[in-house]
Amino acid sequence: MEHAELDALLTPEAMRLIDDLDPVETTADVARTVSRLRAAGHGPELVSAVVGQVRLRQRAGAKFGEFASRMLFTRAGLEQATRMAVSAHHAGRFARAGISSVADLGCGIGGDSLALAALGMRVLAVEADEITAALAAYNLASFRDATEVRHGRAEETDLAGAEGIWLDPARRTKGHAETRRVAAADYSPPLDWAFALARTMPTGIKLGPAFDRDGIPDDVEAQWISVDGSTVELVLWSGSLAREGVGRSALVIRRESAHELTAPADADDEPVRDLGRFLYEPEGAVIRARLIGDVARSLDAGPVSEGIAYLTGDADLVSPFAVRFRVRETLPADPKALARELHARDIGALEIKKRGADIDPAAFRKKLKLRGSASATLFLTRIGGKRAAILADRE
């Protein structure tokens, strides 16, 4: 998005058109809508801005729910924004710590600031990109009495009056559409600055879930978060935002429910077990937090193989921190032999999962030439140092 498009967007005419347009989902829809708006006399910047926002709002519903229909976005801003369900948990932690004013540094389009303001906190939202800052100001307009949006760099912000910090360092190249990840050494603001700030006041630092664990400071709580099966972020909490005795935590959100596993440090693993009646796939947040051992003990289960994050056991137990599958049988791992076995079982719909197996699931699926009316899940992994194929049913 350029300034001309932003200027065209922030007008009553653009807002009216965005609200009135039907969904724009396909390339044909885009062409038809653009042609109609241009024929009605609207300029190219306005048309581009309006059609782009309609499409982004449709995509934003998955992250922001009903809030999406009252927000403005850039493509990169939407992709990098925290899901509202997660933002609500972050804001709740600030509220429970008794913090009444927060500086949201690197606020992006303002998603986390929305959640903080909604819980009654005063928010200073700071964004280095001028256009994104303008969109954040629009998105936070309904909380204008409790929020201030500034265009500026986190490192140069006067934090007087802030009782806590929410910091989302830029982890991608600059831009509003196509961006790419950068190395941790190139985050903005720099992580050394962020970690130093976290030692002086209560701070939450949002990072990618695959952040190198060796780079995590010793004096913070590290919380990994999964949403509906996807591991979405790592947050480092310091000061009063970090809970006493908690060094590692895994927050698992599925639909309307949330469950959390906490521990002082990485959990000890359980011994390897022979394949049992059930196979469990731990949530990504649990794996990243290295709390698989705690989940295994709660299920009376153990790993199928050393270093493989699949658990197995015979006890009829379930956990919010792992998805359970009922084991049918083990089958040959060779694609040709496996294809014959699956055909004999009339399996045409197959979910393929792998750990410890160097295969491309899409290419492997083609070799199976699936056909049939039944469905199942296939685990390709290693047991006892050998490749194994486990047929199971998701429960």
| 45 pLDDT tier (thresholds 50, 70, 90) | confident
Q: Is 32 helix (H, G, I), strand (E, B) or coil?
A: helix
Q: Is 252 helix (H, G, I), strand (E, B) or coil?
A: strand
User: Highest mean pLDDT range out of 44-48, 81-85, 275-279?
Assistant: 275-279
Average pLDDT in the 212-229 region?
A: 96
Q: Above 80 in pLDDT, residue 2?
A: no
Would you state the structure tokens that stand for residue 250, as one six-digit string? 């895994």
Q: Above 80 in pLDDT, residue 106?
A: yes
Contact (Cβ atoms closer than 8 angstroms) between residue 394 and residue 351: yes
| 177 pLDDT tier (thresholds 50, 70, 90) | low
Averaged pLDDT of the chain: 93
Q: How far is 379 from 352, CA to CA, in rounded Å?
A: 6
Q: Among 132, 126, 248, which Cα is nearest to 179's?
A: 132
Average pLDDT in the 312-325 region?
A: 98
The DSSP annotation for 194-229 comes to HHHHHTTS-EEEEE-TT--GGGS-TTSEEEEEEETT
Instruction: Give 66 or 284, the one with higher predicted confidence.
Output: 284
Average pLDDT in the 61-74 region?
A: 88
Supply angle C-alpha 177, 178, 184, rounded to 5: 115
Rg (CA), the chain: 24
Question: According to the model, what pLDDT value does residue 23 have?
Answer: 83
| 288 pLDDT tier (thresholds 50, 70, 90) | very high
Contact (Cβ atoms closer than 8 angstroms) between residue 68 and residue 57: yes
Q: Above 80 in pLDDT, residue 37?
A: yes
Q: Above 80 in pLDDT, residue 152?
A: yes
Average pLDDT in the 245-259 region?
A: 95
